[in-house]
Amino acid sequence: MGLNDKINYIIDKYGSDKVMHFFLSGWITSMLSIFGFKGLFLGFVFVTLISYIKEKYIDIVFDKNDILAGILGSITSIVMYTIFVFL
């Protein structure tokens, strides 16, 4: 099973919207890491609010799992930043 097959499996299992929420939220949070932990906190709050607003007002069906995927992506970015700072 190659890398492409694994990626396709993840997208098929969770859906492209959740995968995009995860990666985009992690990316946005990591971009704000240049401001330290305050930037990470602001990134987390921003991502959570934007995910909620998108689900509530833009998407046809409200899916709380998309918001959860965004939060998990943001938390993953925060954990990675914390590991790199303290090692």
Contact 25, 51 (CB under 8 A): yes
Global model pTM greater than 0.85:
yes
Rounded CA gap, 62 and 26, in Å?
Answer: 21
Rounded CA gap, 21 and 73, in Å?
Answer: 7
Residue 35: phi, psi to the nearest 5? -95, 15
- Structure tokens belonging to residue 23: 């990666």
- Structure tokens belonging to residue 27: 């990316």
Which segments of the chain does DSSP mark as H helices, in order? Answer: 3-14, 16-31, 36-53, 64-86
Each residue's pLDDT tens digit, 46-83: 999 999 999 999 989 999 999 999 999 999 999 999 99
